[in-house]
Chains A and B, each alone.
Chain A
Amino acid sequence: MSSNKIRSLIIDDDPFIRDLLQDKLHQYLPEVEVLGSATSGSQGLAMINEFQPDLIFLDVEMADMTGFEMLAKLEDIRFQTIFITSYSHYAIKAIRFNALDYLVKPIDLGELKESIKRYKANIQQNKRPDNVQQALINFNTKKVSDQTLILQTQEGELRLILKNIIRVEGERNYSYIHLANNKKKLTTKTLGDMEELLGEKGFFRCHKSHLVNFSYIKAYPNSTTIMLSDDTELPIARRKKDEFKSWYERWNAV
């Protein structure tokens, strides 16, 4: 067996997904060697310890534990993880927030090939598999504003603690993230993408071009304007007035 092979494990309690993924890897990505398949989180832990894989394909929701609970039981994570989830799973937001790699069941071949390409690029760049570690830290961080958002950018990975983001400004297909240290970062995500990532974490899209962090709202003098602590004045879109008011009151009460 060539040492260049990617040594992998499949951990999923659905026999159909295990077979399908194994067949697709075998047929189209022979460089990925499947060392074995685990049918539960606890079996997955045993197999990880036994095989020390380079890569695991991990189901988000298994009968005995979630994929994240399984990872949290490991002392050290030395492998890359590609999560397997369904289209409508609630964990998909957390996966995107932490810039984790994932495949949607029943596993599109093109997406699988892209995931393996990203895996190889990470290995070439000697990138440690610490997004998963960061995700586990985020899950245990009760205070939302202390959580860290991970974004993949053209210049590399960007990690931002939410409490340091004042606002996000949309500019067609990309966004500027304005930070508390007066710097601004460019991301290729649209404002809609950013809203999806931050919408339940104390941010509100008050206008088609602006997403604002509640923590930096200094004043809300009238129904059409917000003053921020860096003295920026942001408009509230007319159709967002009522929604903004109830969001503002809700977060004010927290």
Chain B
Amino acid sequence: MTLGLINANPVVHAKKERIVRAEDNHAADAVDSLDVFDSVRDIRDPEHPYSLEQLSVLSEESITVDKKLGRIQITFTPTVQHCSMATVIGLCLRVKLLQSFPLHFKVDINVSPGSHADEESVNKQLNDKERVAAALENPSLRQLVDECLCSSEL
């Protein structure tokens, strides 16, 4: 596994402390950026035994939620400019949000500006739902996504 890694030595950051929130002052339908961050922060990077949070691929600040319109926007930063795993990370984020939030939420996922060599093409793919649907029907891709999500539950 050491050969062929796209980013062999990623910088690993500490996890932020989790904020435990009382249920009664936080209604189930009032999704905010911390809820979204909590659901995706432990997704494992497709290449490393570290979470997306530990690799600073995303943070609470890179997530915006428009409660009124029911929209979630995530901007993530691949660890390297030419990361071919960027689309896999994007797929993981999309699947995790589908599993965690009401289906009527509209989700936009993009790489942060300047963070990827093929920024436009990665963003276009990640937000084309037909391409996403087809990718998730691909057994090997689906398995890779499921593994990244599964380890987040450990």
Chains A and B form a bound pair: no
Give residues in A with beta carbon < 8 Å to B.
none
Interface residues of B (CB under 8 A from A): none
